[in-house]
Amino acid sequence: MNLKDINKEILECRKCPLEKTRNHVIVGEGPEDAPIMIIGEAPGRDEDFQGRPFVGKSGQLLDKILDACGFNRKEHVYISNILKCRPPGNRTPKPEEITVCKPWLMKQLELIDPKIIILLGATALKTLVGEEQRITRVRGEWLNWSGRPTMPVFHPSALLRNPELKRPTWEDYKKIVFKYRELVDSSHYSAHV
Ligand code: URA
């Protein structure tokens, strides 16, 4: 099985009631061998309309941050979510939705085999690392997911709600650029790091 096969299966998924309210299944986006995998929570309204991850306001901010790091969706990052379908009204994913959808993400992680993982916000952190984790406590600290350096950061929507979080979050992304130079490309260029 390769990533294309899995993503085709995900597109046809009818394992939970979100299949009734969705317009699109958002499988993810990026190169199959991306060195970095970014994991968000769930698609929002804009993503559900367009069928692509992180294209709304949060996504625009994420793209700006990635650009400042010298990263882009074509070469460096694969962006996916814990849930592949939008929860109505953008509510928080239900535990049973996460349980049903998580195996898709696990397959994507196995196939992409990223060197570095970025967890955007509490849902991604709790789902991958543990329910007891708190984003406010561990953001900016390297954690370990299946032997890979894993960096939890505030979700871009949190930065939009509270711009004071932008400065500490930039420090977290700088650590990711340093780690990328250490593990993937020592000559990686970033205008700001
Ligand atoms: N927020 C997320 O967590 N994921 C998206 O794809 C869009 C917004």
Q: For residue range 70-124, what is the model confidence (pLDDT) as tens digits? A: 999 999 999 999 999 999 999 999 999 999 999 999 999 999 999 999 999 999 9
Residue among 54, 127, 157 whose CB has most ligand 1 atoms within 8 A, to mutate: 54
> Which fold, 3-182?
Uracil-DNA Glycosylase, subunit E (3.40.470)
CA–CA distance, 153 with 138 (Å, rounded to integer)? 8
**Per-residue pLDDT tens digits for 11-55:** 999 999 999 999 999 999 999 999 999 999 999 999 999 999 999
pLDDT score at 70: 98
Residue 174's pLDDT band (boundaries 50, 70, 90)? very high
Quote the tokens at residue 120.
Answer: 């955007």
Q: Report the atom number in ligand 1 closest to the C-alpha of 81.
A: 4
pLDDT score at 8: 98
Q: Ligand 1 center to residue 83 CA distance, Å?
A: 9
Residue 172's pLDDT band (boundaries 50, 70, 90)? very high
Q: Ligand 1 center to residue 41 CA distance, Å?
A: 6
Q: Report the atom number in ligand 1 closest to the C-alpha of 155.
A: 3
The structure's pTM equals 0.98
pLDDT score at 176: 98
Instruction: Identify whether the C-beta of residue 127 lies closer than 8 Å to the C-beta of residue 163.
Output: no
